[in-house]
Amino acid sequence: MSFPMTPAEARVDLSAIRENVRQLASHAPGAEMMVAVKADAYGHGLIPVARACLEAGAGRLGTAYIREALELRAAGITAPILAWIIPPGEPLEQAIGGDIELSASSLSAIDVIATAAAAVGGTAKVHLKVDTGMSRGGAMAAEWSALVQRALRHRAEGVIEIVGLWSHFACADIPGDPSIATQLAAFDEALLIAEKAGAGGSHVIRHIANSAAILTLPQARYDLVRPGIATFGLSPVPRLGGFGLRPAMTLVARIALVKRVPARSGVSYGHLYVTDRETTLGLVPLGYADGVLRHATNVAEVLAGGRRRRIAGRVCMDQFMIDVGDDPLTEGDEVILFGDGSRGEPTAQEWADSLDTITHEIVTRIGSRVPRVYR
């Protein structure tokens, strides 16, 4: 048996990511695909994942911040990239020079982008975002027409090119939620306003569909779809199943210490776990500094020695314990926290369910001390 060179690693199956991209594309025939690779590709590794997605047929990439898009450019990735969160002080001139598309949700945002484009003697490619009911990013309906008109004015000045009109769902992962139809109607109205003003046309990409909408709302696919969590094989609507997606990440560690302890031994901080007999404990060198939620204490399970074991006692910053009873356990033995379930190990969905959260949080929390290994 060979061991990783580090106490733990996140194994990322790029072939699973490619398969998932192709599977998602089959649900949206005729639509372009922009894969969201923000947050280090949901913890899976920005550059390797971006390349795998493009190899599988995705034509575009999406990031939350400009710095993520610039990292993709620095790695030699030339595909269109949209960065959609533009706080004050962002390197807009560098983004425009790197042919990174930008999102604008307000008059001040479109003006700042236009000023940056003029400063570098270029034309910024902009997606205008409308708030259709999420009350997050995007211009409110009452401000939408003004945003479109301001963008058209900057377009006439040669510093703005309107390449997209977009929005985002609040409840696409809740099938049948009434807000879905409301948001689609609001989006259609915003598109009509933009088109009548001269900001539409076949060259302008319309998009609102996230992972859940791609898989459950054919009427929401428009010109482009934006898969995120589904790219990594994790269902955006768990109640409806896995949609044939394959989880790409397996989080593993190797036992750092094995010890035999007597009955009534308190384990870890606060003695929240007390042994009921003489037993064997194993120390797993991963903790909340690595993304293992502290709430996993006495709740989440791992696979060790061919069987599932519940975390025993408080999850610490760098480690947690498991109780294997009288089963054999050796320092260096592999422990699987979560994977695709094919070996009997828990999945990220099971971890999310047991901790009352979503798989997005489970995979994106895995910290930088845990190397990503690509297979």
Residues tagged active-site:
38, 269
Buried b vs exposed e over 191-209: b needs ≥16 C-beta within 10 Å? bebbeeeebbeeebbbbbb
Contacts of 128 (CB under 8 A, 6+ apart): 103, 104, 105, 110, 139, 147, 148, 151, 162, 164, 165, 166, 194, 199
Going by their DSSP bridges, the two strands 301-304 and 124-129 should be labelled as unpaired
Residues pairing with 301 in the sheet? 310
Residues in the chain: 375
| Amino acid, res. 276 | D
DSSP-derived 3-state class of residue 284: strand
Is the separation of the CB atoms in 290 and 318 below 8 Å? yes
Distance CA 116, CA 235 (A): 39
Distance CA 367, CA 232 (A): 17
| Amino acid, res. 321 | M
Using only the alpha carbons of the chain, give its radius of gyration. Answer: 24
Distance CA 223, CA 57 (A): 16
Is the separation of the CB atoms in 202 and 243 below 8 Å? no
